[in-house]
Amino acid sequence: MENFKEIENKWKKFWEDNAGLYQAKNDSDKKKKYILVEFPYPSGSGLHVGHAFSFTGGDVYARFKRMQGENVMFPMGWDAFGLPTENYAIKMKKKPQQVTKENTDMFRKQMKDLAFSFDWSREVNTTDPSYYKWTQWIFIQLFNKGLAYKKEMPINWCPSCKIGLANEEVVDGKCERCGAEVSRRNISQWVVKITDYADKLIEGLKETNFIDKVKQAQINWIGKSEGAKIKFKISDVSSQISDLEVFTTRPDTLPGVTFMVVAPEHQLVDQIISSSVFQKEEIENYVKNARKKSELERTELSKDKTGVFSGLYAINPVNNKEIPIWISDFVLASYGTGAIMAVPAHDERDHAFAKKFGLTIVPVLNKEGWDFEKKAFTEVEKGEEFNKMLNWVEEKGIGERTSSYHLRDWIFSRQHYWGEPIPMVNCPKCGMIPVKESDLPIVLPEVEAYEPTDDGQSPLSQMTDWVNTTCPKCGGEAKRETDTMPNWAGSDWYFLRYIDPHNDTVLASQELMKYWSPVDVYIGGDEHNVLHLLYSRFIYKFLWDLGVVPKEYPEPYIKRLSHGVILGPDNQRMSKSKGNVIVPETVADIYGVDVVRMYLMFMGPFDSTMAWNEKTLMGVKRYLDRLEKFINSQKENNLASSKEVKMIINKLINGVTEDLEAFRYNTAIAKMMEALNSLSVGQSISLSDIKTLIKLLAPFAPYMAEELYSFFEKTSVHAALWPVADPKFLIGDETTVMVSINGKVRDKLIIKNEELINKEEILRKAKGLDNIKKWIGTGEIVKEVYVPGKMVNLVIKL
RNA sequence: GCCGCAGUGGUGAAACUGGUAUACACGCAAGACUUAAAAUCUUGUGCUCUCAACAAGCGUGGGGGUUCGAUUCCCUCCUGCGGCACCA
């Protein structure tokens, strides 16, 4: 289209004026289809190719389903809280609220330009108080159910920025922003007990249609191990703590336990330091050093084990032998009980530790010829002995069967400004009390300075007017919580808000959730397959337990689709520093939106990684130009389609429909190109078949389709009914049957369809072919295979 | 180390349940149009042998297996990508 700008503007306005075209109807007899694409963080640099790619993928499907007569909900919103906005606001001396408004306005305009058929009447914004009122409400429910609590926790601390950092903000042990070495600091943090839902989150995956890769990633992340907790008696009677509890997956190796190790953070260590005289200084130094180290430093030094003897001994319950208790940072305080029973004969780490400190190695299972002093034998099978020992432990009352998880509780506090205020009040008399639900939302006050404070508190802590409040319980003087929520909080439940975005009394009405739930297709990036998806499922399951969301749907998303990644023309990840960034807007200005959309869908499979290639884009442009020319040359002829043309069209309808249903956009487009190649060879085509071609094009190239369709109809092509193939024109009169000798194709037979079932006749004909006769020669046919309608294979022995 | 995914022409890729390997597109080559270029159109294009055609042989990362028949299923190895990683 030469005048594509003009056409785009014309139809953009038309769609704007006919807003109902893309709106989801809450009261409809039609089948509902909830298609969700991950809402973006509206950054200052605007919509990038990755957005354009995934949103086009969703848009094609939404348009397709709408034309198939389904009641489609395809909403859009903004995940707008976050550090970049806060930092940008600080730098530009603007309010984050203002920056967010500017950015979302820009994103919305760009999305409309790219013809995404979002239902804008359902737009949500996580930074809107009427939205985060419900994010805060969910937090209060978590608190009321005992799933949110405050705890002193080590966090990543940047001494230069004077700010606590999330793990994602620490790169190679350094602060992402200033590059300073990150240390650890204990800060009182809100923690959410996602671990209570670990089993439910694994179990629930069975209810979903996620691809295996996503399910596996979630299962691995939760990392469930089955085993036992076992208590070891401490032999020193003067010790205030009499037992040391460990978690093990291998109770059957209990006889091989020759020492124990506790993490430097273990409570036993504090007792040792305060009461013991043995090596007091050495122990104190070791512990102090270990606690100072960042997680990274600790794991980096993993090859070489360090540790110190505590002076205490425990008793191995199997043989009553005294075994030393050591302190070492290879044991993690955050996993299991923070203490382990060491079996150096059958565990590599325990073995390395034993060798370094000269500890005893006792094999449980003797492997012939194995040198246990040299290497641990780790391939011990978890057999009968596992259960036998576990039963013995339980009978003796020193332990019990249990599971442990890699999944940690979720640190929910951020010491930043631009996030949802945690709706809690700290009362000196009553403790932590949630804000009254009727007082929600607790609106983020507008402050003058967004910089964090010296002591690592949120900038909100300086707002004394806001901080000082009264206790919701006793009415006395109290202070507000000044931490804000992490980014995930707003994105956990946004899909529910789209269902009922303006409801002021509940986060969404039961009735509407019953109609729209669950999300049928959720399109997003691989980077969110674990955290976002897991947090979101967790919050949903929590709301399900509360009865807030419909009982009929225990899982929020049915199908998860991960979109691929678009690399720069140099096959590298796009980044400003590499100068290989493709801006969709710029390309659309040159070639038109339809070309960009269609090219993005044609590049390759929707979920694969592909490099941008302007030459291939030209191929798509050529196709659209040729299609336009073909239709314009035919539209006034008013001729009938030949049978051959009808077959091309009907096969195309079937092919494109099937491919769209399976998100195989690249092959759908290839089929359209193929059809045009066949049609272009001097064929004439009926008006109804032309309209079919335009309809098939509509999801991909909405502007051009609308323009071409307007020649025939007054109504929008996007409201037209998707074509259905006529079975009469799907199969021809004849079928090609390939004939092969020993599996290699040598010739073919053209057979009338009604004769395809006649095996004997077909085999006779196959053997009669000149080529085949030549191949058989003097050989003997030992086997004849006929696959009806497909092929004949003759096995020849020479 | 563990988990997951992938490996097909010069390039992006297709072949969905085992049945014509390389559809579609790019690139390249030749030709048409043009004073010329661009654009457009036509034809050809896996590799080897051949002036060429016919025919043949080889061919989906390597090796092996199952099968009348394997890009597809099984075993094994190699390479690349992504995630997790002292998880007891």
If one counts every other C-beta atom within 10 angstroms of the C-beta of residue A491, the result is 22
Closest CA to A41 of A97, A80, A68, A71: A80
B67 C1': nearest CA residue: A743
CA A211 to chain centre: 11
Torsion of CA A741, A746, A752, A757, to 10 degrees: 10
Quickly give A372 CA vs B3 C1' distance in Å: 29
A580-597, pLDDT tens digit by residue? 899 999 999 999 999 999
Q: Are A541 and A202 in contact (CB under 8 A)?
A: no
B70 C1': nearest CA residue: A743
Mean pLDDT of A539-562: 95
Quickly give A748 CA vs B8 C1' distance in Å: 25
Q: Cα separations (Å) of A678 from A88, A652, A782?
A: 55, 11, 42
**Confidence band (pLDDT; 50, 70, 90) for A345?**
very high
CA-to-CA distance for A314 and A651, rounded, in angstroms? Answer: 77
Q: Are A700 and A669 in contact (CB under 8 A)?
A: yes
Mean pLDDT of A18-38: 94
Query: Residue A227, CA: closest nucleotide via C1'?
Result: B88
Quickly give A77 CA vs B12 C1' distance in Å: 33
Place of tokens 């806001």: A466
Answer whether residue A297 shows pLDDT above 80. Answer: no
- pLDDT of res. A576: 82
Query: Residue A655, CA: closest nucleotide via C1'?
Result: B16
pLDDT higher at A146 or A93: A146
Three-state DSSP class for residue A632: helix
Q: Are A243 and A312 in contact (CB under 8 A)?
A: no
A180-238, pLDDT tens digit by residue? 777 777 788 899 999 999 999 999 998 898 888 888 889 999 999 999 999 999 988 77
Quickly give A745 CA vs B73 C1' distance in Å: 22
Quickly give A623 CA vs B39 C1' distance in Å: 14
Q: E-assigned strands of A159-265?
A: 163-165, 170-171, 174-175, 183-192, 224-234, 243-248, 259-262
CA-to-CA distance for A713 and A700, rounded, in angstroms? Answer: 19
Query: Residue A658, CA: closest nucleotide via C1'?
Result: B16
Answer whether residue A296 shows pLDDT above 80. Answer: no
Quickly give A605 CA vs B3 C1' distance in Å: 24
Mean pLDDT of A72-88: 92
What pTM value is reported for the model? 0.93
Query: Residue A352, CA: closest nucleotide via C1'?
Result: B86
Instruction: State residue A20 phi and psi, 5-degree precision.
Output: -60, -20
Answer whether residue A299 shows pLDDT above 70. Answer: no
- pLDDT of res. A173: 65
B27 C1': nearest CA residue: A615
A132-154, pLDDT tens digit by residue? 999 999 999 999 999 999 988 77
Q: Are A308 and A282 in contact (CB under 8 A)?
A: yes
Quickly give A667 CA vs B14 C1' distance in Å: 8
Query: Residue A526, CA: closest nucleotide via C1'?
Result: B82
Q: Are A794 and A743 in contact (CB under 8 A)?
A: no
Which bases of chain B are under 7 A from a protein CB atom?
Answer: 3-5, 11-16, 19-21, 23-27, 39-42, 56-57, 68-70, 81-88
Count the residues in chain A: 798
Strand A519-524 relative to strand A32-37, pairing: parallel
B85 C1': nearest CA residue: A299
Query: Residue A348, CA: closest nucleotide via C1'?
Result: B86
Quickly give A674 CA vs B47 C1' distance in Å: 27
Answer whether residue A301 shows pLDDT above 60. Answer: no
- pLDDT of res. A1: 65
Q: Are A136 and A420 in contact (CB under 8 A)?
A: yes
Instruction: Supply A85's token pair.
Output: 């906005």
A442-473, pLDDT tens digit by residue? 999 987 777 766 666 788 888 888 999 999 99
Instruction: Give A559's strand partners.
Output: A521
Quickly give A106 CA vs B17 C1' distance in Å: 48
CA-to-CA distance for A455 and A460, rounded, in angstroms? Answer: 13
B14 C1': nearest CA residue: A667
A517-537, pLDDT tens digit by residue? 999 999 999 889 999 999 999
Maximum C-alpha span of chain A = 107
Quickly give A289 CA vs B20 C1' distance in Å: 70
CA-to-CA distance for A55 and A52, rounded, in angstroms? Answer: 5
